[in-house]
Amino acid sequence: MSDPRRLSAEQIIQIEAWLAELPEPDLDDPDNPEWTEEDFARAVAPEQMSDEELAAFPCTREILDARRAGAAAVEGGPTRKAG
């Protein structure tokens, strides 16, 4: 018995043809533009940021504090505290 979730070769060809006809999406984001060479040159590591700058990034602050305290590596990325 075939799996009803699997697409047939014909269905895949139809979907690929439909996708090929779609216009390319506009990926420009004026609120978050791509970094330039100058942006990378100005960038600093979180360890080099002041306390005032780190206050804007509480999750980064938590990770840095854990590293400084010698805690084990944070797995799965930053988490938010409830409340």
User: Long-range contacts made by residues 45-49, C-beta under 8 angstroms, separation at least 24?
Assistant: none
What percentage of the chain exceeds 90 in pLDDT?
34
* pTM of the complete model beyond 0.85: no
- pLDDT per residue as tens digits for the range 17-35: 999 999 998 888 989 999 9
pLDDT tier at 38, thresholds 50, 70, 90? very high
Full DSSP string of 18-62: HHHHSPPP----TTSPPPPHHHHHH---GGGS-HHHHTT-HHHHH
Rounded mean pLDDT of the chain? Answer: 83
Q: Where are the domains of the chain?
A: 44-74
